[in-house]
Amino acid sequence: MRHSPTLKKIAERLSVSISTVSRALKNHPDISPETGRKVKELAELLEYDPNPYAVNLRTHSSKEFAVVVPSLSNFFYHSFISSIEEEARNYGYSVIIYRSSNDPKIEQEILKSCRHKRVSGIFIAITSETNDIESFLKMDVHGIPVIFFDKVPQYESCNKICVGDEHAAFLAAKEIIKKDIPNVLGIFGDRNMSITKARLEKFKAVLQQDGQSINLKTVHARSSAEAEQITLSLLPEWIGKKFAVFCMSDEILAGSMKAIQRKGLSAPVDLGVIAISDGMIPLLFYPEITYAETSGSKLGTLAFKRMMRCIAGSSFAQTIIDESKLVAGGSI
Amino acid sequence: MRHSPTLKKIAERLSVSISTVSRALKNHPDISPETGRKVKELAELLEYDPNPYAVNLRTHSSKEFAVVVPSLSNFFYHSFISSIEEEARNYGYSVIIYRSSNDPKIEQEILKSCRHKRVSGIFIAITSETNDIESFLKMDVHGIPVIFFDKVPQYESCNKICVGDEHAAFLAAKEIIKKDIPNVLGIFGDRNMSITKARLEKFKAVLQQDGQSINLKTVHARSSAEAEQITLSLLPEWIGKKFAVFCMSDEILAGSMKAIQRKGLSAPVDLGVIAISDGMIPLLFYPEITYAETSGSKLGTLAFKRMMRCIAGSSFAQTIIDESKLVAGGSI
DNA sequence: CTGAAAGCGCTTACAG
DNA sequence: CTGAAAGCGCTTACAG
């Protein structure tokens, strides 16, 4: 195993001290231009790069952010991570991606590892079973800011960046009203999830207020398969009427679309279809599904800004809600 | 910022030396049971965990694997990573996930960072524009084994774990023959990709050999959108005949399915549909698409085994091909 | 402008 | 069975 060049080697070759080399490399004002040039030249030549372990041991800082998500196979997280990485690169930080598999135990291990590595900050979408917020709050004691995104805890005073559930539901409901559709089947996710509540309530409220005559039926499904079953069993009573199906998430949409295809129905003729989505699944169908977008990349930008504030010393906890926008396919 | 406990603190509290604490914690045989117990008790109490930077600086080993992929929003990579993580956990390793965004420059930066961090090993699916294999081979000089998976270089003597392109194409072709379908439209990806060549050749060969009377037309598409366009323009001449569409990848499948839906056709009545896929997209349709599976998780297991051999000292480079299996939906 | 020295937290050969 | 000491590669206050 060949050894990487070190400050010492450069110093020896140039017959100067290690301190001088170290300073020259970071453009310390004390160093003479002459020395600075020589050192930097040789460093370049030898492809010198500081040993991050030594630097960290000395400085206690890592210039690394951690992003922790329950799952990777998710377009929303993917675009969130992309935007964090892009921003981070601009600031000279790198990004490590961790996957909790939606398991609070693994999540805790990751947290521990982040602490030991003294990452500069953590972006995290918590698991649906995370109860112990304590350990996250403790990170602050260690000087590691935590920004929650998407899946965030109930707890008030922490930094949270969320998708605008209400706004997305509002947009979808408005679109239904605009299209003058009298009957709506709303398919929502698990009742216990906070996003379900937020989306359901707003959706209902808008339809009741602005579309008084609309007949709304809502159901809940905890998985894609369940959404398929429910849709399948309910569709018969709607066929023939002018109606729309609203799916509150990609998971639900995937299941419901299968039922709709199975019944041989197609949008927008036989029914309208509209969803809240991160924008991947809607594009797989023809016509593309109309959806209110929950944008991971915008959330990423917002989260990163907040992180940089925290690092700069802001201790003020804040909840930021990102607005949604309607992307028209041809399904309604 | 509160400080984490160190060997020194434990040593002071117990009035023993740092060396003794260090040894006790790793069950060194020299240490008396008595001392061992006391040290481990206190360490437990203080939630001691060694500072990874210090350990690495000393030992030059990180117990960390890096997985580098072009993109995260990909079910195949997702399952590959999951299986690597699971195996790694069992061996006390952790896994860092890097995303190259299919950009060779970023890929090089990641490689550099892996070298500096002295990761224990790298699993990598290279970008489609990676030419400089040199830098990967150099990692060996640094004692860091590199296992290529899925997207691998042409270069012979390196460790490669690949999807069984030929076998997957073989399974798909066999299925078409079995279903007695006289006309086949084969839609393949970019001509320049090695997987395109492998899949195309085998597919053709099997149909020609075992299904002599089958009329096969093959086309190439470089993106989902292109696959949609091509399918759309070709479908009219096939309608009415008994035919099947074969899509060599998920990307192609997504585009072609859109065209098929657009023409109001549905499988398996109007046509047969069969694909090579990682198993996510086929489930979104009804009936589910029949496909030859390229399993990320199995590839992960194989890659991990190979990695452990390398770490154990094997310098023998090997190419491992994973076999595929047919998953029957109802689309053909 | 430059250098010697201390120290970050650990491991391990050496001595007792 | 235990400890003192060296050293991994770096940064930085202190001295000159």
Domain extent for A69: 62-163+297-322
Separation between Cα atoms, residue A151 and residue B192, nearest integer Å: 41
In a domain, B329, yes or no: no
Confidence of residue B91 (pLDDT cuts 50, 70, 90): confident
Is residue A90 scored above 70 in pLDDT?
yes
Nearest CA in chain B to A93: B113
Query: pLDDT by residue (tens digit) across B245-255?
Result: 999 999 999 99
Please give the angle made by the CA atoms of A140, A125 and B92, to the nearest 5 degrees. 80
Q: Which residue has the tokens 């060599």?
A: B248
State whether A175 and A279 are in the same domain: yes
- For residue B147, being part of any structural domain is answered with yes
C1' of C14 to CA of B48 (Å): 28
Q: Using 50, 70 and 90 to split pLDDT, how confident is the model at B1?
A: very low
In a domain, A130, yes or no: yes
User: What pLDDT score does B153 carry?
Assistant: 87
Q: Could you tell me if B178 and B280 lie in one domain? A: yes
**Is 0.75 surpassed by the pTM of this model?**
yes
The C-alpha atoms of residue A175 and residue A326 are separated, in whole angstroms, by 9
Chain-chain contact of B82 with A99 (C-beta, under 8 angstroms)? yes
Look over chain B and give the mean of its residue pLDDT values, rounded to a whole number. Answer: 89
Return the nearest residue to D11, CA–C1': A58
Task: Please state whether strand C lies within 7 Å of residue A7 at its CB atom.
Answer: no
Neighbours of B316 (CB within 10 A): 9
B107-130 residues labelled b (16+ CB within 10 A) or e (exposed):
beebbebbbbbbbbbbbbbbbeeb
Residues B135 and B114: their CA atoms lie apart, in Å, by: 12
- At A112 the three-state DSSP class reads helix
Quick one: pLDDT at residue A10?
Answer: 86
State whether A303 and A281 are in the same domain. Answer: no
CA–CA distance, B243 with A20 (Å, rounded to integer): 75
One domain, residues A37 and A74: no
Asked if A261 contacts A297 with a C-beta cutoff of 8 angstroms, the reply is no
User: What is the per-residue DSSP string for B282-323?
Assistant: GGGSSSPPEEEE--HHHHHHHHHHHHHHHHTT-----EEEEP
Are B159 and B237 in the same domain?
no
- Cα gap A28→B178, rounded to integer Å: 74
Q: Would A187 be classed as within a structural domain?
A: yes
- Kindly state the percentage of chain B with pLDDT values over 90: 49
Q: What is the CA radius of gyration of chain B?
A: 26
Q: Are residues A72 and A159 in the same domain?
A: yes
Give the residues across from B272 on adjacent strands: B244
When pLDDT is cut at 50, 70 and 90, the band that residue A2 belongs to is: low
Positions of chain C reached by protein Cβ under 7 A? 1-5, 7-13
Asked whether residue A107 carries a pLDDT value surpassing 90, the answer given is yes
The pLDDT of residue B3: 67
Name residues 163-202 of chain A within 8 A of B (Cβ): none
State yes or no: pLDDT of B41 exceeds 90. no
Residues A197 and A281 in one domain: yes
Which among B54, B112, B141 has CB closest to A49? B112
Continuous H helices in B246-295:
250-262
In a domain, B244, yes or no: yes
Closest residue, chain B, to A285 (C-alpha): B258
- CA B69 to C1' C8, in angstroms, rounded, equals 34
Do residues B287 and B171 both lie within one domain? yes
Beta carbons of A259 and B143 less than 8 Å apart? no
**Claim to verify: residue A255 and residue A177 sit in the same structural domain:** yes
Specify if B331 maps to a domain: no
Q: For A229-251, what is the mean pLDDT?
A: 94
- Of B194, B150, B200, whose CA–CA distance to B172 is shortest? B200
Over residues A191-196, the mean pLDDT reads 84
Which of A99, A115, A264 lies nearest to residue B85, judging by beta carbons? A99
Question: Across the interface, which of A99, A116, A287 has its CB nearest the CB of B52?
Answer: A116
SS3 assignment, position A66: strand
Q: How many distinct structural domains can be found in chain B?
A: 3
In this structure, how many other beta carbons lie within 10 angstroms of the beta carbon of residue A213? 6
Q: Determine if strand C comes within 7 Å of the CB of B116.
A: no
Is pLDDT above 80 for B4? no
B261 and A262 in contact by Cβ < 8 A?
A: no
pLDDT average, residue stretch A89-116: 87
Q: Does the distance separating the beta carbons of A113 and B284 come in below 8 Å?
A: no
The answer on A301 and A288 residing in a single domain is no
Mean pLDDT for the stretch of residues A131-160: 87
By the 8 A CB rule, do B200 and B248 touch? yes
C-alpha neighbours within 13 Å on the C-beta side of residue B223: 3
A211 CA: distance to closest CA in chain B (Å): 32
pLDDT at A1: 44
Contact map slice: A 39-68 vs B, CB within 8 A:
49-54, 56-57
**Residue B86 has what pLDDT?**
87
- Nearest beta carbon to residue A56 from set B53, B85, B101: B53
Residues A189 and A98 both lie in one domain: no
State yes or no: pLDDT of A51 exceeds 50: yes
The backbone torsions φ and ψ at residue B322, rounded to the nearest 5 degrees and listed phi first, read: -90, 135
- State whether A268 and A304 are in the same domain: no
Once rounded to an integer, what is the mean pLDDT over residues A212-221?
92
Indicate whether B301 belongs to any domain. yes
Burial code of B181-214, b = ≥16 C-beta within 10 A, e = fewer? bebbbbbbbeeebebbebbbebbeebbeeebeeb
Q: Is the CB of A283 under 7 A from strand C?
A: no
Q: Does B269 touch chain A (CB under 8 A)?
A: no
Residue A14 Cβ < 7 Å to strand C: no
Highest mean pLDDT among A53-57, B5-9, B21-25, B232-236: B232-236
CA of B18: nucleotide with nearest C1':
D3
CATH number for A207: 3.40.50.2300
Residue A332 falls inside a structural domain: no
Judge contact between A332 and A112, C-beta under 8 A.
Answer: no
- The CATH number of whichever domain residue B21 belongs to comes to 1.10.260.40
